[in-house]
A and B are shown apart, each in its own frame.
Chain A
Amino acid sequence: MILVWLIAILLIAGVLAWFSGRWSSTAPRWISLIAVSIDFVLGLMLWSRYGSEMHLTPQRDWVTQVNWSWVPQLGIRFHLALDGLSLLLLMLTFLLGIISVLASWREIEQGIGFFHLNLMWILAGIAGVFLAVDLFLFYFAWELMLVPMFLLIAIWGHERRNYASMKFFIFTQLSGLLMLVSILSLYFIHHHQTGVYTFEYADLLGTHLSSHVELLIMLGFFVAFAVKLPMFPLHTWLPDAHTEAPTAGSIILAGLLLKTGAYGLIRFVFPLFPDAAHRFAPIAMTLAVIGIIYGAVLAYGQTDLKRLVAYTSVSHLGFVLLGIFAWNTWALDGALMGMIAHGISTGALFMIVGQVQERTHTREISKLGGLWATIPRLSGAALFFAVASVGLPGMGDFIGEFLVMIGTYEAHLIGLTIVASIGVLISTIYGVRFIQSAYQGKNSNNWAVRDLVPREVVMLIPMVAILIWLGVYPQPVFNTFKPVLSKLYRTTAQQPATSQAALIKTSLLHLPGDQW
């Protein structure tokens, strides 16, 4: 039941915020803030209650769940379920939700009520995606988060908001519909084999597919997730959408929406289509590595601060994709850590760029420069998150990328590992450029603006703390994720283990879990 409340609170708060926006400009902000904070606390409670017993058995698929009848005629159920993977991503969702409400506190001046309606409903949609285990419900939530995101960009975005918002919507909608066809194919094949119409994840897991059909259906899912992720060459919506969105929109896009793609790959693509996924892995991993290099090189070439950060996402999510398709303990732990750390560090970078823009009214690197002289605290924070983002040891991103590379190496893909590590090198270069050209140097434009206010400091401190925590002591995250990992192996190991990767993963299962 608590799972339903997690979503319902956001939906209700959104409507309340909208109505309250008519008579007050601060009420919507407070309502949203309180609602997301309640969700965050509920999430923490779930974590502390089940933290020690996240263990899943074949009999116990989920830590906790809600399973209601919805559309019995079509075998659709309202089925939400939680395990370690969803919990971690939910916590990230609510954390970034709080941050994005705070980040819009001064930036959004018009249509405040409606803005927060959209914000809350995006978060609700994302929470739904992370919790849904009925494939129809999953698709429902997957589509649901698009409209408010579209409106967020289209109404409160920057100069080219119409173009960016439409591109975003059409890309994701098309890929989503391909996924729908795949879901339906699976649904009918399952019905053909068992005589039961169901969209239930656990039931569909056992569907037997011929290898050709499996690959086709898998591709439908894969494309939907790869667009969201985004994987090279399906990433072109991302720089536009990230750049034109208001700060809160960018934070949610980079921090959460991209993660739904990675989540889908882990939750659906591999368990449902293990053989096809393994066969497809070389292609996906090659594209991932291309994305790493491509994103990093393009990030270096940008003249717009926000676009620069946007392209770094392409690069970082390349690591996540690489880790997922390497499909072994290290790589998956790394991918998950990468997702969480990227969510926080990139979210923070977008926030900082937003704060710079709010003060200077420009994002052009050439017009900035020497900001350190006038806003040292903000520049210091920028430096911290930039080095976190490029993967300095001691922070979360490093753990993620390092583990992914170990995992890829373990999967005997040495060439890919080497190229990916070059991506890390390039990321250092754009990180340095980000800091040097915007913050350091001479203040030739004579910027004299206000430094961080207490509200902004309050937002940044927890993000700094979490990144360091993830970098220094990531074990709680891995422990939460471990039962899911072993369950994933169990389901994907039902198929005959033929590939090299499958052999590795079975041997890894017997290794002690805490490598750290």
Chain B
Amino acid sequence: MVSTTDLFIILPLLILGGASVVVMVAIAICRNHVVTFALTLIGLAAAFASLFWIAQDAPRQVSTLLVVDKYALFYMGLVIAATFAVALLCYSYFGRREGDPEELYVLLLIAALGSAVLVCASHFVSFFLGLEVLSVALYALNAYLHTRRFPLEAGIKYLILAASSAAFLLFGMALVYGQLGTMEFGKIRQMIEGSPDASHAILLAGTALIITGFGFKLALVPFHLWTPDIYEGAPAPVTAFVATVSKGAMFALLLRYFTWSGSHHYGAIFLVFTIIAIASMIAGNFLAMMQSNVKRILAYSSIAHMGYVLVAFQAGGELATQAVAFYLAAYFITTIGAFGVISMMSNGERDADSIDDYRGLFWRRPLLASVFTAMLLSLAGIPLTAGFVAKFYVVTAGASSQIWLLVFVLIITSVFGLYYYLRVLVAMFSGLPQGHEEEAAHEISPLVPALSLSSGVVLAVLTVLLVWVGVYPSTLLNIIHHTVAGIL
């Protein structure tokens, strides 16, 4: 039975769900962008604050479906904070475009709710529910500017592929359930350990299909084909959301599922993940080198980054769990920052996604270009940024488990990966100012970044966080140490 304490401990989920209803009703009563926006932010802030409130009661199992432990709290915090930042970016981005921007916030809240359910899931049912809540919101978010060609295309593509991957996932769950007769992650482990000589073929097939489901959402090779198109087509703040919240929540669940169910220790599963990680790192980095569209570059680079996180995941153990959490946190900061710059650079007609849009940006908009530089350097893993410490941590985890093959692939591919980050950097710093008359004469009107307070604040905060985590990672490490480590 669900008691009052159980209801109390899922307060963040209730607040997110409640907020989406409130926002929806508010839109029905009075369509006003500012009010909707404010309600959304209040809802997210309340959900975030409730995390601290319920922390003392964690960990607690709520029915068999959800578990609210410190691990879930950490990732819920990450998800909610990221949604908050994305909402701020959306405010100015969608305010400048056609159509009504209000429903967007409902979708964002629902997607955040789905992600929050995912990080709490301890059962196939909550796993699937959370995933679908997230996915359905994302279909609409991707195609939010439905009168435009590329967002619509992105939405449809995502719908078809996500639906089919969900089918694979369901089938995998069914196989595992058929073999073991349980859908609880923890029980799966007991069943496997209890009957070591049980036929594992069906179990393996089921797990493989479940990996397909994970692989799709995380955009791991060979399930990555949707990524560049969605990244390119979706509006920039939505891309930021897809790249961070959806992937981060999924990875948190991946780690929980494979740790709790013990499936990770199978040689075959381990091998599959090794191959996926290597393929993702290689394909992501090399394909990114061939792009000239910034959003596509970031899409392929995100494939590679998920490969890096998999290296930490493969390492296993407490260090690895912390490395994954640290990497994801750093990746959230960096990716939202990068897409925040892209959102800010975009005008009402199109997104600023060509490298040419950034040519000489540093000499026109030094601050914006500096923020983008910091984000790109963080993605490339250069010191003074969060990305550096994150990459260091992942390599440390890999080295501690002596998975040298993965570590060396990570190192070599990430060096090749430098090339495309540097290309964008070089473009931003190219074209030293030569004097004003000359510039006015032959310059084709560059995109004029639309500076707005909300986006500016997000970028400023993210940059400060980026440098802070990069220079003094102890604070974040402490938080992670006290929350995430409990998963094992």
Contacts and interface: CB of A to CB of B under 8 A. Distances in A.
Contact of B432 (A111, A136, A173, A180): A111
B429 A155 contact: yes
Contacts of B384: 144
B477 A170 contact: no
A174 interface: yes
Interface in A167-223: 169-170, 173-174, 177-178, 180-181, 184-185, 187-188
B474 A70 contact: yes
Interface string A128-155: 0000000010001101101100110011
Given A110-B433, A147-B377, A162 B415 contact: no
A427 to B, nearest CB: 34
Interface string B366-388: 10000000000100001110001
Contact of A110 (B383, B411, B432): B432
A169 B426 CA distance: 12
Interface string B454-484: 0000000000000000001110011001000
A372 to B, nearest CB: 34
Given A111-B432, A144-B384, A173-B418, A162 B392 contact: no
Contact of A170 (B363, B418, B430): B418
Nearest to A73: B477
A228 to B, nearest CB: 15
Nearest to B470: A140
A287 interface: no
A236 B421 CA distance: 22
A72 interface: yes
A50 B119 CA distance: 58
A113 to B, nearest CB: 9
A154 B383 contact: no
A74 B477 contact: yes
B474 A181 contact: no
B411 A178 contact: yes
Nearest to A150: B422
Given A70-B474, A110-B433, A181 B363 contact: no
A71 B418 contact: no
A393 to B, nearest CB: 43
A432 interface: no
A170 B382 contact: no
Contact of A174 (B382, B411, B425): B411
Given A111-B363, A143-B383, A147-B382, A180 B392 contact: yes
A143 B382 contact: yes
A166 interface: yes
A147 B434 CA distance: 24
A165 interface: yes
A70 B434 CA distance: 44
B396 A184 contact: yes
Contacts of B432: 110-111, 155-156
Contacts of A154: 422, 425-426, 429
Nearest to B322: A73
B412 interface: yes
A314 B382 CA distance: 27
B474 A146 contact: no
Contacts of B411: 174, 177-178, 180-181
Given A143-B383, A162-B426, A177 B414 contact: yes
Contacts of B418: 169-170, 173
B415 A151 contact: no
A460 B266 CA distance: 69
Interface residues of A, number: 35
B426 A146 contact: no
A76 to B, nearest CB: 9
Nearest to A115: B432
A181 B377 contact: no
A180 B477 contact: no
A174 B395 contact: no
A71 B384 CA distance: 14
Contact of A166 (B395, B422, B429, B478): B422
Interface in B186-222: none
B302 to A, nearest CB: 20
B400 interface: yes
A224 to B, nearest CB: 12
Given A71-B474, A143-B382, A185 B433 contact: no
B483 to A, nearest CB: 14
Contacts of A184: 395-396, 399-400
A181 B474 CA distance: 22
Contacts of A71: 472-474, 477
B131 interface: no
Given A178-B411, A188-B399, A166 B383 contact: no
Contacts of A146: 382
Contacts of A155: 429-430, 432
Contacts of A150: 422
Given A71-B473, A144-B384, A177-B411, A188 B429 contact: no
B436 to A, nearest CB: 13
Contacts of A166: 419, 422, 426
B161 to A, nearest CB: 34
B407 interface: yes
Interface string A62-88: 000000001111100000000000000
Nearest to A71: B474
Interface in B393-436: 395-396, 399-400, 407-408, 411-412, 414-416, 418-419, 422, 425-426, 429-430, 432-434
A143 B419 contact: no
Contacts of A177: 395, 411, 414-415
Contacts of A136: 392
Centre residue among A114, A177, A188 by max chain B CB count within 10 A: A177
Given A111-B433, A155-B429, A170 B473 contact: no
A73 B481 contact: yes
A177 B408 CA distance: 9
Nearest to B414: A177
B415 A173 contact: yes
Interface of B: 362-363, 366, 377, 382-384, 388, 392, 395-396, 399-400, 407-408, 411-412, 414-416, 418-419, 422, 425-426, 429-430, 432-434, 472-474, 477-478, 481
20 contacts: A70-B474, A71-B473, A73-B474, A73-B481, A110-B432, A111-B363, A114-B366, A141-B383, A143-B383, A144-B383, A151-B425, A154-B426, A155-B429, A155-B432, A166-B422, A166-B426, A180-B392, A181-B399, A181-B407, A187-B396
Given A141-B383, A181-B408, 17 more contacts: A73-B477, A73-B478, A74-B477, A110-B432, A111-B432, A114-B366, A144-B383, A144-B384, A150-B422, A155-B429, A155-B430, A155-B432, A156-B432, A174-B415, A177-B395, A181-B395, A184-B395
Interface of A: 70-74, 110-111, 114, 136, 140-141, 143-144, 146-147, 150-151, 154-156, 162, 165-166, 169-170, 173-174, 177-178, 180-181, 184-185, 187-188
7 closest residue pairs by CB, A with B: A110-B432, A184-B399, A174-B415, A177-B411, A144-B383, A73-B477, A143-B383
